[in-house]
């Protein structure tokens, strides 16, 4: 489900309500996520939330007793509800605060994760090898150009690889390639420096706009207040259009790396 804008939207929605809250109870209804939730998570009882941040698609909640590292996988979402609210199916984790609200983690497919670390969370083995944040200055045309120039694989696979750049999932990969007029199948090393520049700008623009509109709701993503993301209506190619909004040509649907790609064969070369 969630790509970078959806995780960022979740963070921004939760942070004002979670910061400085004290945890009085942790209920694990289903520990079997991508990795089992460590039982030591209970050590965070009576801890206070001191900071929240996003790195790639990981959401990091720091406390005075350790750091929670969350991932939403394909179908995860987080909400705050009144403590007595029964919630819905697949709410695997409930973290109750002293003010009678509780954080609910819901993830029907259970590809997500909740991990615990006492070290610097950015040095965690899942996080330290990650590439630059796409919206940071570290992600620029020279960098992506260097990453592309020796790679024969299709450009879409390159921008979706988290060790190259994080946060670009299937939707926004398709959208940014459309915006920059690049065919997703094009071998990375065959793309000019100038077009790589256009791609970098498109990735930044698409992600930034999606964040501003609260992410994309295809099926069941909701912001932490329960509202859908409004970027859905801005999608140009992904699962939306039969025909290209620019030229009217039929949108083509192919498979790359076991993921569905949508593109316009007329506008994207």
Positions annotated as catalytic residues are: 2-3, 57, 259
Judged by CB under 7 A, the residue of 24, 43, 205, 218 near DNA is 218
Helix (H, G, I), strand (E, B) or coil at 183: coil
What lies within 8 Å, CB to CB, of 104 at 6+ separation is 78, 79, 80, 81, 87, 91, 93, 94
| Residue numbers 123-142 binding DNA by CB under 7 A | 126
Helix H segments across 87-126?
A: none
Nearer to DNA, 32 or 194 (CB): 32
Residue 266 CB, nearest approach to DNA (Å): 21
Binding-residue pattern over the window 95 to 124 for DNA, x denoting contact by CB under 7 A: -------------xxxx-------------
What lies within 8 Å, CB to CB, of 194 at 6+ separation is none
Q: Is there binding between residue 177 and DNA (CB under 7 A)?
A: no
**Residue span binding DNA (CB under 7 A) among the ranges 78-86, 95-103, 190-198, 256-264:** 256-264
Among residues 27, 142, 157, which one has the least CA distance to residue 96? 27
Nearer to DNA, 47 or 113 (CB): 113
- In this structure, what token pair is assigned to residue 245? 């909004």
What is the residue whose two structure tokens read 């000019």?
Answer: 192
Residue 24 CB, nearest approach to DNA (Å): 29
**Residue span binding DNA (CB under 7 A) among the ranges 10-18, 92-100, 145-153, 242-250:** 145-153
Q: Is there binding between residue 229 and DNA (CB under 7 A)?
A: yes
In angstroms, the CA 209 to CA 215 distance is 9
C-alpha dist (Å) from residue 187 to 147, 148, 198, 212: 12, 9, 16, 32
C-alpha dist (Å) from residue 55 to 128, 150, 217, 251: 10, 27, 21, 33
Nearer to DNA, 46 or 260 (CB): 260
Judged by CB under 7 A, the residue of 19, 51, 74, 247 near DNA is 74
Q: Is there binding between residue 208 and DNA (CB under 7 A)?
A: no
Q: Where on the chain is the footprint of DNA (CB under 7 A)?
A: 1-3, 6, 32, 34, 56-57, 71, 73-75, 89-90, 108-111, 126, 150-154, 157-158, 162, 169-171, 188, 215-221, 229, 239, 257-260
């Amino acid at each position: 489900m969630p790509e970078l804008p959806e995780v960022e939207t979740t963070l921004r929605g939760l942070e004002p309500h979670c910061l400085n809250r004290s945890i009085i109870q942790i209920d694990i209804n289903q520990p079997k996520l991508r990795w089992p939730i460590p039982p030591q998570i209970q050590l965070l009882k009576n801890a206070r939330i001191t900071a929240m941040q996003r790195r790639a698609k990981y959401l990091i909640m720091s406390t005075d007793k350790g750091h929670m590292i969350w991932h939403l996988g394909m179908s995860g979402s987080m909400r705050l509800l009144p403590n007595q609210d029964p919630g819905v199916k697949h709410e695997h984790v409930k973290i109750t605060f002293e003010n009678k609200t509780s954080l609910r983690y819901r993830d029907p497919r259970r590809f997500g994760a909740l991990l615990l670390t006492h070290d610097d969370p950015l040095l965690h083995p899942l996080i330290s090898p990650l590439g630059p944040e796409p919206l940071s200055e570290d992600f620029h045309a020279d960098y992506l150009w260097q990453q592309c120039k020796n790679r024969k694989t299709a450009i879409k696979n390159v921008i979706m690889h988290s060790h190259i750049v994080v946060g670009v999932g299937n939707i926004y990969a398709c959208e940014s390639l459309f915006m920059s007029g690049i065919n997703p199948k094009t071998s990375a090393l065959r793309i000019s420096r100038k077009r790589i520049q256009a791609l970098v700008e498109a990735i930044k623009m698409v992600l930034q706009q999606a964040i501003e509109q609260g992410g994309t709701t295809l099926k069941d993503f909701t912001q932490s207040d329960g509202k859908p993301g409004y970027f859905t209506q801005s999608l140009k190619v992904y699962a939306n259009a039969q025909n290209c909004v620019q030229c009217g040509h039929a949108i083509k649907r192919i498979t790359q790396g076991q993921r569905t790609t949508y593109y316009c064969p007329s506008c994207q070369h």
